[in-house]
Amino acid sequence: MRSIPATSIFAATAFGCLLALQLTGCAPDEPEPAAPETNAGAEQSSSWLQVSETHYDFGEIPHGLVREKVFTIKNTGTGHVRLNGIRSQCTCAVLEKRVLRDGKPIEAEIHDPPILDKGSFKMLELDAGDVLELTVRVDTTLRSPLDHHEPSYSELVFEPVEAGTIRITYEFTIRARLEILTEIDRKGSPAVNFGTFGKHQKGFGVLELAPRDGKTFSIREIEGLGDRIKLEKKPPVREGGHRWLVELEPNGEAGYFMQYVTFHTDLDEGYACPIRFEGVAVPNLQIMPNARLDFGRFDVSKERRRTADLIYRRSDLDPKFRMTKLFVEADGNSIADHFEVSIDPLERGTWRVALSYRGGLDVRRFEGQVELTSDDPEYERIVLPFTGYDSGASKPIR
């Protein structure tokens, strides 16, 4: 490999840096990308390079299988050609590259994107007559086990500029092997979603894997449950289906939960169906709509009331919420006797804190806080601050 002086590629550096990023690796459930402008008969935009073909349709691929297609790009010129970068649409195709000389692979360093080394960029080079072999590998396991069609492309940018750009388009259709139900009796997402639950609460969901195209199947093995996910077998909704009530054990930690479980079947080549389990564990106490009791701007001579709801998600403990302190101040003076606090249960797991102002004050603003406590050691002190402003513009600032 040759090291190209930085001065000889100065003009291409800015352009090349933008093109050097190879965008790959779709998340399994990202929205499908917009279809590129594919043209099965598109002509290559290079007189220095000869490409074997510019479009390929992989056709229908059953989920769980891998398909490959090899494209070749030959340097038909008399000079060296360098690969500046590859720009690909987000896809589940993996690109592999190697260089052939006289029909045989050679040991060539593959720099994609180019790397800066000792003041110069190292790039993949093709001598006259060399062939770049580009293998597009479609791995359907990188997608969710649902029907999915995806057109895509890879654009290879070469230098010098006269070498031009080669654009290869390809498309494929993934065919689901099973019907996946994650809701009562209809197709849901390919994930079992536990929703939002307290960090000490259990999460619940439902999953059914049903035959497709009349192909019944058995579950040979379930892999990846770990110590938190429990499955309880239930009667199926669809004929020949396999249905479970899913239970997620709590671990006392808040945050996003995601785990893949693989269901090994006796379908076809021993098809293994990956299912994502996800949910969000939240703190045991949530204050809605927020942890403040602000009065805003109003006529302070009149009464006003503000509320906040305490949503407590532990079922094994009665928190016994109660007030410990009410502090309100205006102009350096305590005005707490003009306010009253009540805490009342609304429904199971929810309490309403109400702060009432009796009116009758002659102040421009006030501020204070309600302090609560509970029998839960995690919430020994709960503070709800608040402010209030008089709507009258003529009062002097004291």
Cβ within 8 Å of residue 100, ≥6 positions away: 72, 106, 130, 131, 132, 133
Alpha-carbon distance 27 to 25, whole Å?
6
The pLDDT value given to residue 164: 87
| Contact yes or no for 273/265 (Cβ under 8 A) | yes
H/E element holding 273?
strand 272-282
DSSP state at residue 64: T
What's the pLDDT score for residue 82? 86
* 14: CB partners within 8 A, 6+ apart: none
- Domain ranges across the chain: 4-175, 179-282, 285-390
Give the three-state DSSP class for 14.
helix
Torsion over CA of 48, 50, 56 and 61, rounded to 10 degrees?
-100
Let me know: does 222 contact 272? Beta carbons within 8 Å.
no
Given this model, what pLDDT does residue 356 score? Answer: 97
pLDDT tens-digit profile, the chain (398 residues)? 444 444 333 333 433 433 333 333 344 444 444 444 434 434 455 678 999 999 999 999 999 999 999 999 999 988 888 888 888 886 678 888 899 999 898 876 665 555 555 555 567 888 999 999 999 999 998 888 989 898 999 999 888 888 888 999 999 999 999 999 887 544 556 789 999 999 999 999 999 999 998 889 999 999 999 999 999 999 999 999 999 999 999 999 999 999 999 999 999 879 999 999 999 999 999 999 999 999 999 999 999 999 999 999 998 899 999 999 999 999 999 999 999 999 999 999 999 999 999 999 999 999 999 999 999 999 999 999 999 999 974 444 44
Superfamily, domain 179-282: Immunoglobulins (2.60.40.10)
pLDDT at 161: 85
CA nearest 304: which of 233, 355, 238, 232?
355
Nearest to 155 by CA among 164, 163, 137, 167: 167
Homologous superfamily in CATH for domain 285-390: Immunoglobulins (2.60.40.10)
For the residues of 338-394, what is the DSSP string, one character each? GEEEEEEEEETTEEEEEEEE------SEEEEEEEEE-SSGGGS-EEEEEEEEES-TT
Residue 219 and residue 264 in contact, taking contact as beta carbons nearer than 8 Å = yes
Distance CA 248, CA 294 (A): 38
What residues form DSSP beta bridges with 273?
263
Structure-token pair, residue 391:
């709507």
Residue 112: its pLDDT value, please? 56
CATH architecture of 4-175: Sandwich (2.60)
